[in-house]
Structure 1
Amino acid sequence: DKYEHKYNFRFEEKGADEIQGHPRKIVESVRKEPEKRKEKRQEKMKKVEESLKKEKEEVKRLKKLKREEFKKKVTEIMSLSGLSEEEATELANTIDLEKEYDP
């Protein structure tokens, strides 16, 4: 009976009833994954972000200059209209340049 069982199942392997799976990433692998593309992509993104940041800072600086120029003009106009220098400066500072223009 033992011999017959052994003879009948001689082609079957151990663990044939289980599906063998392989991990997607092997942890103990010595092989290094190529990351040159990834590094170049990250460098490019950094350059783009830096250029955008510089542009925003430049726009901010130009807006500040324009605002100061406008306040100087308003102060000059106020002083020409007969107000004292302090009153003109105070009035120019109360004007909100950030809100929408409403004529």
Structure 2
Amino acid sequence: MLNKPLYWKKKLAYCLDSTQHTQEFEILLSLLSDEDSELFEICIDTLRSYTSTEHKQRIINHPIILDRVHNAISGAGTASQKILEEFLKGLK
């Protein structure tokens, strides 16, 4: 899956939702390893819907994800910044 084209990965991240299926959550986490900032934002936006304690804890236990979110906030436009900030608020 990680060798698929970028447009395919973006469409996949948009299609996943908060059905809370572990496999979909794992796919989103794996897509975060891509360096594309738009894909990263799409994944974070989708991850906001994964609100279970287990999912939140898994994200919190990945400091690299949190570091990337914090770094992305400083350079993001208004809409993107709001998505990233809401993501962080949702982890509390």
Larger radius of gyration: 1
Tell me: higher relative CO, structure 1 or 2? Use CA pairs within 8 A at least 6 residues apart: 2
TM-score interval, smaller chain: under 0.3
The structure with the largest helix share of the pair is 2
TM-score by length of 1: 0.19
Q: Scaled by the length of structure 2, what TM-score is found?
A: 0.20
